[in-house]
Structure 1
Amino acid sequence: MLPFVEPFMTIILESSKNALANELLRWLSWLITAALLASAVVVRPDLFAGIITGKQWALEVATPGALACCLLFITTDRRISLTLTDVAVGMLALWVTASDGLLHPGHYQPMGDTIFNVSLWLLIYLFMRLASWQRHFTTAAIGLWLAVALIISAWGLLQLYGLAPSQHALFRITGPFHNPGPFSGYVVAALPLALAVIIGTKTLVPPKHACRSITILKHHFLLPTTAEGVGRILLKYISIGVVIALLLVIPAARSRAAWLAAITGALFVAWVHPRTQRTRWMIWSIFKQWPMAVRTLVIMGGLVLLMSVGWGMYALKSGSADGRWLMWQVTGTLIAQSPVVGHGAGAFDALYMNAQADWFQSGNGTAAQVLVAGSPEAPFNELLKLWLQYGAVAIALTLGIMWAVMTSKPVETPQARFLVRRSLMNRGLKGALLSLLVFGLFSYPFDMAPHMLLLVMATAMLAGNRRPVMTLSHHRATNVVITGTIATVIAMAVAYMPQRMAHYAALKKWQEATQCYDMRRYDDAVELYASALHPLSNNGLFLQMYGKALNMAGNYTHSNDILAIANKNHNSYIIHNTMGDNHKALGNTAEAARAYQNAAAMVPGMMFPKYLLAVLYRDTGQTVKAVETANQVLTMPVKVQSMATDEIISEMKKIISSYKQ
């Protein structure tokens, strides 16, 4: 029988309607999983930041299918089992919701946004959790994960060789992402999975019922004779392709965080494999037999090697490493202000730049940090960001989830069949999870939907490997859960669907407004920004750009009103520079000087705010202050030589020379 016919023949030959329904549900769950993973390659140029928001949109479009599958799973299986991981995930979701709703109500992010985000990821977690015990589902999900990673890796290779356009003018390799960092973090998580599949797929043996001719063909051409054989071989070949593609593309992407993540995940898969236990024991036995002096030299040599590798990775992009260290230190000062419960969602955007200004004004900043200080969009460490937003409680719950997942053991049951042994898939998923977490210690992957999806998928598929702590099997209890779930879902869909449609319509207008601004059609840009204001009224970046457009259109008072709101959620030096320009145009010299000084304090290594301050002093007749500020600008080191910096230096020299005359 042809391998592609066998799955359909299996469905037809099943005797009961339940078997047919289960088979169709299994195929539907595969399709929904493919749609969720495919969101990583979606780019929508019609949306603002369409490389990022397009992926979120695609994920949300696929989510109703996941919801339908969840309801079908619950109604067809009256047993609802909860593991320790499920309980910890639920507690974390409750804490995040309670934190934003009760402890920090609407400080930096609307409560509705928090509820939507928590519900979205809980729904996807529930879908993956319920589907993971379907026949062959985990293997299929891993295969789809690897296939998407292979496509994205191939995309990066095409960009590397100039055969496909990059998504960023400054980088050759981005894949469908906006820079090499997210690209590397996404594809590298597939390496442990691919290695586990390569190690775990068995050599195919011809079935006893296969005819002699098919057996001969398989023997000579390595053709499998069953659908499961086709799936197993295809999965192994995809895994080999992933490993080869990653070896080619990861070094070219130059992401040190991705290298560390890849090494961690690969070493984990190799370390926990049963075949390495004997090897490790033999190496340890030989090592113990060596003299103490030799063992000491070996240990010291290993430490020197590790330090040399670490120094080499630091020296490769020392400025980037120094910048991350500055961000972590400044973020630490914010965490110390509320270490237990945090500051709430959106706290980094709202608080970081003022904290960085305080850091330098208090004398903590070094000369090297002055050069690398900027206006970051994230602290480049997911644990620090979680701690900043939701406190040590969230950190404890997250570590509890990771402990429950990483210490889980696979459960082999006759009901759950897998093309690859579940123990090997379990190791691969744990390695992928470790890779994501290590990458998250040096970047911000979980701000993007595709990376968060991988984290939720891996956690959910591993969650069932622990013994249930609670099982609801009574019909009444289950009916209550099902009825409550359906009612809640319908209510949330009615509430949030119009809101999400309005959100993406506003993103379209935002993109059109940005294009008008770039073409210097400021009045048109202001009109488009105003039409998108209501759905995006809490988006600090949107308000910043709206305020800047109002400034360029000459509406200085309204610009300051919008920027004052933006400053609460998205504090940045651009906002203060623009407010300074507005106050200068309105004749408010003291307020303008204060705004420029705030901007200069946030990024002390940037010339532009002090340049604006010096020009303000010159134009208002404050000659002494103008010359003093101009001298400060001239003594600043130039980060990047450009026409803009040359013009600034030339203007500062004119101010000084005019004073001498």
Structure 2
Amino acid sequence: MRKHHPLLRAAVLLLWTAACWRLFVPALDVPTQELRANALASMQGTLLLLLLAGAVLLVRAPRIRPNATDCCAALLLAGVTASRFLLPGPAAPARYDELLQAAMLYASLRILFTAERHAAAVLLTLLCLFGIYEAWTGIRQIYGFTYSNHGLFKVTGTLFNPGPYAGFIAPVLVCAVACIVRSNRLAGRLLRRQTLRRPRSLLRPCVLTGGLLPCLAGWGAALLGAVVLPASMSRAALAAVAVGCGALALGELDAAGRLRRLFAAHPLRTGIAAGSALLLLGGATAGAYHLKRPSAEGRLLIWKIDARILLRRPLCGAGLGNFAGAFGEEQARYFAERSRPEGEKQVAGCPEAGFNEFLQFGAETGAAGFALLLLLTGTAVAAGIRRGDPFGYGLLAAAVFASFSYPWSVLPLRLLFVVLLAGAASPPGGRRRSGPRTETVPSRRSGPFRRIAAPLLLAAGIACWPGVYGRTAARAEARRQWSDVRIWMSSGRYDYLVEDGERLLDSLPHDFRFLYDYGYALHRSGDYRRSNDILRTGARISSDPMFWNIMGKNHDALGEHSEAERAYLQAHFRIPDRIYPLYLLALHYRASGQEAEALATARRVADHTPKIESAQTRKMQEEMRGLLAAARSGPLSETQEP
């Protein structure tokens, strides 16, 4: 790569720092899970990176050679685009816009990482600083100096839940440890030499970004992250850190070679120590399982349903954004097929995500999308670890966490994954390393890609950005307006919700919470058919059985008894432990004159022991016991549901 004026390089690094700051800092402010205006600021950061990459491509003309990760990313984007238009759904446009932002970000980062050799070190330093801030915020929440964003948990950082909070801390912690391992010797050597000979040279940008700042920031992020991470009680994050640091020890510290030499010198003691370590690991794994056993068993059931969706629709999947609806449908089919263990019935729920991003993506896009996503992540991890790149180890930790949680549904975690992916896939720009991990600078055969493909990709991203930004802004504003209108629900003014719901429907078809509120307001207003239309749309993108409960009530009000029965049964089989659908079904049978079915269903409600008892469940069971007692004294009267 040609050498350029130091001021030009300094300007590029300064703009790079500002763009990355704009990308991450607003995105980390996520006190609720709803779409907020901070997504727009993150989109602006994406645009800054696109423009900077375009300018660098024109001025510096870096040699960019596409690799296996780039090919997988291109194929994946093509497949997702086909799925977006061939399998449309209410949430498909919003989900596709999220993936388009990720694609724009990946393309711009690949160019900038390749063009500027200090870009990776600057971004790693920023990530460590973000990790320090989040960890410090969590420590302050632990000691009560500030409040968390969740009433049930003490530690959430600036996010809405300890799970995503730990999902951000864990990859940053692994990257920080990798920075320490990679930069510690270099930073120590620089400090000794430059301090004794030329102290002012420590302020040179190449010295600061080359090893000193990443090392110092890495120490801070690693120490504070290690303190706060156990307090999050996230087993997925702890597993991610263990896997990432284990790979780092094997790759950078030659742990396997040292263990072999130690075993050759002291076989008995080494064998006993290794066996004890394995026993401790097994005990820790069992302890983590039993620490929150219902949660672990619930995730096992979720993964089983995820796999069933993928196997049922291997070619195209359920479609972008349709995962939750397909999950509810498949779980209802699973429990309706035959009697299942009582433990599975008790842990069944209505999740919004699949708690395994790879399985969830496969359920939405089919087996090809599942395989491409695994290849995309695997090739980037392999390339990064082969070079000893901190991004590679951080990406491995992020991938492990994504196998147990829902990080790509949370904006800062999704951005972090894309950054780690692009960093791991990008060889260090403008430098060569000696030794077995030498990275060759791409040859001039990459010229056609540099002259044609890369500018076209950037131009396409810049052309798509206004549309994505405009749609995201419209969704955020509609969500804000609906939050203001929704307060009238507690006052019973459903006519206000109906009036504004119709106006906001075009902007919020992806929001199942909005669809439920709007459909319920229509139900309370007496517009049963329109209510069913809205609720049916919501049921396509949500696994919550309440959609079907209200649809059953609408069918009852319209005199469509068979449809009402089908809706109540669908709601029951989605979460068999809940008694409300059976309660409504018993009332339906009673009102339609089906005495035998009403009594049988009432007996099931009265005899059931729900996992979580409440005043409402006790009241419903008492009513069903009264119904059974009345039946013993005579035939049931034809009374209507209260």
Question: TM-score surpassing 0.5?
Answer: yes
For 1:468 and 1:634, the matched residues in 2 are separated by 73
- Which SS does the other structure have where 1:203 is aligned? helix
1:350 Cα shift? 2.4
Q: How big is each residue's C-alpha offset from its partner over 1:530-568, in whole Å with a ceiling of 9 and x where there is no partner? A: 221112235444322210122233332321121123233
1:496 Cα shift? 3.8
Equivalent positions of 1:231-380 (< 5 A) are 232-274=211-253, 276=255, 278-286=257-265, 289-290=267-268, 304-363=279-338, 365-380=340-355
Query: Measured at CA, do residues 621 and 353 of structure 1 come closer, stay the same or move farther in structure 2, by a change above 3 Å?
Result: same
Query: Measured at CA, do residues 399 and 485 of structure 1 come closer, stay the same or move farther in structure 2, by a change above 3 Å?
Result: closer
* Match among 452, 456, 463 for residue 418 of structure 2: 456
Q: 1:180, 1:255 within 8 Å by CA — same for their partners in 2?
A: yes
Percent identical pairs in the alignment equals 26
1:198 is aligned to 180
Q: How big is each residue's C-alpha offset from its partner over 1:353-403, in whole Å with a ceiling of 9 and x where there is no partner? A: 111111111126311001111111112111211221223322332333334
* Match among 79, 84, 101 for residue 100 of structure 1: 84
Q: 2:113, 2:120 within 8 Å by CA — same for their partners in 1?
A: yes
1:29 Cα shift? 0.9
Number of residue pairs the alignment of both structures matches? 614
Query: Measured at CA, do residues 109 and 244 of structure 1 come closer, stay the same or move farther in structure 2, by a change above 3 Å?
Result: same
Look up the equivalent residue of 1:90 and give its one-letter code.
A
Q: How big is each residue's C-alpha offset from its partner over 1:257-305, in whole Å with a ceiling of 9 and x where there is no partner? A: 1111111112222221245465233234246x449xx95x777655544
Q: Does residue 20 of structure 1 match 2:7?
A: yes
Q: Does residue 61 of structure 1 match 2:36?
A: no
Bigger mean CA deviation after superposition, 490-499 or 549-558: 490-499
Q: Does residue 635 of structure 1 match 2:635?
A: no
Q: How big is each residue's C-alpha offset from its partner over 1:420-471, in whole Å with a ceiling of 9 and x where there is no partner? A: xxx65x0x22221111111111111112221121111112112222667885
* Match among 528, 541, 564 for residue 592 of structure 1: 564
Gaps of 5+ in 1: 1-15, 412-422
For 1:340 and 1:468, the matched residues in 2 are separated by 39
Bigger mean CA deviation after superposition, 30-39 or 552-561: 552-561
Query: Measured at CA, do residues 325 and 407 of structure 1 come closer, stay the same or move farther in structure 2, by a change above 3 Å?
Result: closer
- Which SS does the other structure have where 2:149 is aligned? coil
Query: Measured at CA, do residues 525 and 617 of structure 1 come closer, stay the same or move farther in structure 2, by a change above 3 Å?
Result: same
1:92 Cα shift? 2.0
Q: Does residue 33 of structure 1 match 2:33?
A: no
1:597 Cα shift? 1.7
For 2:72 and 2:160, the matched residues in 1 are separated by 33
Q: 2:84, 2:96 within 8 Å by CA — same for their partners in 1?
A: no
Query: Measured at CA, do residues 129 and 172 of structure 1 come closer, stay the same or move farther in structure 2, by a change above 3 Å?
Result: same
1:659 is aligned to 631
1:136 is aligned to 118
Q: 1:82, 1:468 within 8 Å by CA — same for their partners in 2?
A: no
1:389 is aligned to 364
Look up the equivalent residue of 1:23 and give its one-letter code.
A
2:435 is aligned to none
For 1:625 and 1:509, the matched residues in 2 are separated by 45
Q: 1:626, 1:655 within 8 Å by CA — same for their partners in 2?
A: no
Equivalent positions of 1:517-532 (< 5 A) are 517-532=489-504
1:91 is aligned to 75
Query: Measured at CA, do residues 368 and 386 of structure 1 come closer, stay the same or move farther in structure 2, by a change above 3 Å?
Result: same
Equivalent positions of 1:597-636 (< 5 A) are 597-636=569-608
For 1:506 and 1:457, the matched residues in 2 are separated by 29
- Which SS does the other structure have where 2:64 is aligned? strand
Look up the equivalent residue of 2:44 and give its one-letter code.
V
Query: Measured at CA, do residues 608 and 91 of structure 1 come closer, stay the same or move farther in structure 2, by a change above 3 Å?
Result: same
2:488 is aligned to 516
Q: How big is each residue's C-alpha offset from its partner over 1:67-111, in whole Å with a ceiling of 9 and x where there is no partner? A: 21121111113344223122222222222223333xx3315644x
2:436 is aligned to none
For 2:353 and 2:384, the matched residues in 1 are separated by 35
Query: Measured at CA, do residues 327 and 483 of structure 1 come closer, stay the same or move farther in structure 2, by a change above 3 Å?
Result: closer
Q: 2:352, 2:543 within 8 Å by CA — same for their partners in 1?
A: no
For 1:486 and 1:385, the matched residues in 2 are separated by 29
2:400 is aligned to 438
Q: 2:94, 2:510 within 8 Å by CA — same for their partners in 1?
A: no
Q: 2:381, 2:396 within 8 Å by CA — same for their partners in 1?
A: no
Look up the equivalent residue of 1:366 and give its one-letter code.
P
1:480 Cα shift? 4.7
Query: Measured at CA, do residues 567 and 274 of structure 1 come closer, stay the same or move farther in structure 2, by a change above 3 Å?
Result: closer
Gaps of 5+ in 2: 428-438, 634-642
For 1:512 and 1:154, the matched residues in 2 are separated by 33
Query: Measured at CA, do residues 146 and 87 of structure 1 come closer, stay the same or move farther in structure 2, by a change above 3 Å?
Result: same
1:5 is aligned to none
Bigger mean CA deviation after superposition, 441-450 or 461-470: 461-470
Query: Measured at CA, do residues 538 and 457 of structure 1 come closer, stay the same or move farther in structure 2, by a change above 3 Å?
Result: closer
For 1:409 and 1:659, the matched residues in 2 are separated by 71
Look up the equivalent residue of 1:558 and give its one-letter code.
R
1:609 Cα shift? 1.0
Q: 1:348, 1:378 within 8 Å by CA — same for their partners in 2?
A: yes
Equivalent positions of 1:545-584 (< 5 A) are 545-584=517-556
Look up the equivalent residue of 1:250 and give its one-letter code.
L
For 2:192 and 2:177, the matched residues in 1 are separated by 27
Q: How big is each residue's C-alpha offset from its partner over 1:500-524, in whole Å with a ceiling of 9 and x where there is no partner? A: 3322221222222333324443222
Query: Measured at CA, do residues 254 and 274 of structure 1 come closer, stay the same or move farther in structure 2, by a change above 3 Å?
Result: closer
- Which SS does the other structure have where 2:188 is aligned? coil
Return the TM-score normalized by structure 1: 0.84
Look up the equivalent residue of 1:185 and give its one-letter code.
G
Bigger mean CA deviation after superposition, 480-489 or 74-83: 480-489
For 2:542 and 2:519, the matched residues in 1 are separated by 12
1:635 Cα shift? 2.0
Q: Does residue 117 of structure 1 match 2:98?
A: yes
For 1:525 and 1:459, the matched residues in 2 are separated by 43
1:115 Cα shift? 5.1
**Cα-Cα RMSD:** 3.1
For 1:181 and 1:605, the matched residues in 2 are separated by 25
Look up the equivalent residue of 1:121 and give its one-letter code.
A
* Match among 125, 143, 159 for residue 161 of structure 1: 143
Return the TM-score normalized by structure 2: 0.87
Look up the equivalent residue of 1:285 and give its one-letter code.
A
Look up the equivalent residue of 1:120 and give its one-letter code.
Q
Query: Measured at CA, do residues 472 and 543 of structure 1 come closer, stay the same or move farther in structure 2, by a change above 3 Å?
Result: farther
Look up the equivalent residue of 2:586 and give its one-letter code.
A
For 1:639 and 1:210, the matched residues in 2 are separated by 66
For 2:407 and 2:251, the matched residues in 1 are separated by 26
1:3 is aligned to none
2:154 is aligned to 172
* Match among 114, 126, 133 for residue 151 of structure 1: 133
For 1:409 and 1:244, the matched residues in 2 are separated by 24
Q: 2:589, 2:595 within 8 Å by CA — same for their partners in 1?
A: yes
Query: Measured at CA, do residues 281 and 490 of structure 1 come closer, stay the same or move farther in structure 2, by a change above 3 Å?
Result: closer
Query: Measured at CA, do residues 40 and 364 of structure 1 come closer, stay the same or move farther in structure 2, by a change above 3 Å?
Result: farther
Query: Measured at CA, do residues 598 and 17 of structure 1 come closer, stay the same or move farther in structure 2, by a change above 3 Å?
Result: closer
For 1:88 and 1:97, the matched residues in 2 are separated by 14
